[in-house]
């Protein structure tokens, strides 16, 4: 199932999108919001695959909301104004729905989203790994990455970004699932759809977030919090 949220400051429009989502077999409605600001807080700890976002909203419009997200889920914009279409595609939106939204147009957009979310990266390389390192293809180079240098790994749709200590990040065309399978299970844990952390690098945990630096907060989502808590319980001094 594709976990979905809808954001619109117009209650009737929000109800229509929610109804369409409920009637689409491969979509599951996680939550609805009348404010983009409310959605930001929710996305900090919950996993979402797809968002239907109205552009014209007070406080923070839908376009700026999506641009503000570090690793945004797939997005379908909704609006009553057609002039936003080009700008919507500049932020890599899956589709753009003009109000009033018909069921047919909704389904076409939802199918596009499903194809993007479920597709596997083309020509995904094999990871070569040893006892304390792995070799990974990054652009046209083969790069050695030591496990001990990795702080966390960030999923970016069909790419992963490996964040290292005192070294620049390494980008690779690879799924998070394949990356997770290549890493030692006793040192690395997936804590969110978009993040894998090196358990040996964790210093501070606060409000279901792992804090690496003042401006780096890794959320622990509901899907992974039990496994992460079990890891903490094993090492907690009582």
pLDDT in tens, 38-57: 999 899 888 899 999 999 88
Could you give the C-alpha distances from 123 to 90, 162, 172, 173, in angstroms and in order? 26, 19, 12, 8
3-state secondary structure of 148: helix
CA distance 203 to 79: 44
* CB distance 147 to 187 below 8 Å: yes
**Domains defined for the chain, CATH in brackets:** 2-118 (3.40.50.2300), 128-235 (2.40.50.1020)
CA atoms within 13 A on the CB side of 155: 23
Average pLDDT of every residue of the chain? 86
Does the pLDDT at position 188 exceed 60?
Answer: yes
Q: Determine the average pLDDT of the residues in 155-160.
A: 79
* CB distance 179 to 196 below 8 Å: yes
pLDDT per position as a tens digit, 85-123: 445 445 678 888 999 999 999 999 999 999 888 765 555
Burial classification of residue 88, based on how many CB atoms lie within 10 Å of its CB (0-12 exposed, 13-18 middle, 19 or more buried): buried
Q: Which residue has the higher pLDDT, 215 or 37?
A: 37
* CB distance 117 to 49 below 8 Å: yes
pLDDT at 44: 82
Tell me the sheet residues that pair with 97. 78
Which residues are CB-contacts of 238 (< 8 A; sequence separation ≥ 6)? none
Does the pLDDT at position 82 exceed 90?
Answer: no
pLDDT at 91: 63
Reported pTM: 0.59
pLDDT at 19: 97
């Amino acid at each position: 199932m594709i976990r979905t949220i809808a954001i619109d400051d117009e209650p009737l429009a929000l109800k229509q999108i929610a109804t369409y989502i409920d009637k689409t077999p491969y979509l599951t409605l996680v939550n609805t919001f009348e404010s983009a600001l409310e959605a930001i807080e929710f996305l900090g700890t919950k996993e979402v695959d797809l968002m239907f976002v109205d552009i014209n909203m007070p406080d923070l419009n839908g376009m700026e909301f999506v641009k503000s997200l570090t690793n945004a889920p797939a997005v379908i914009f909704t609006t009553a104004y057609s002039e936003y279409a080009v700008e919507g595609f500049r932020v890599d939106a899956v589709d753009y729905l003009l109000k009033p939204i018909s069921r047919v147009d909704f389904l076409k957009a939802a199918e596009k989203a499903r194809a993007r979310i479920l597709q596997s990266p083309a020509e995904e390389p094999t990871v070569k790994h040893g006892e304390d390192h792995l070799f990974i293809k990054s652009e046209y180079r083969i790069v050695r990455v030591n496990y001990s240098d990795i702080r966390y790994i960030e999923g970016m749709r069909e790419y992963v970004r490996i964040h290292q200590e005192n070294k620049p990040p390494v980008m690779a065309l690879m799924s998070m699932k394949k990356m997770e399978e290549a890493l030692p299970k006793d040192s690395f844990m997936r804590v969110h759809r978009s993040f894998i952390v090196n358990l040996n690098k964790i210093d501070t945990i606060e409000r279901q977030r792992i804090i690496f630096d003042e401006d780096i907060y890794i959320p622990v989502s509901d899907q992974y919090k039990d496994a992460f808590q079990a890891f903490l319980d094993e090492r907690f001094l009582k």
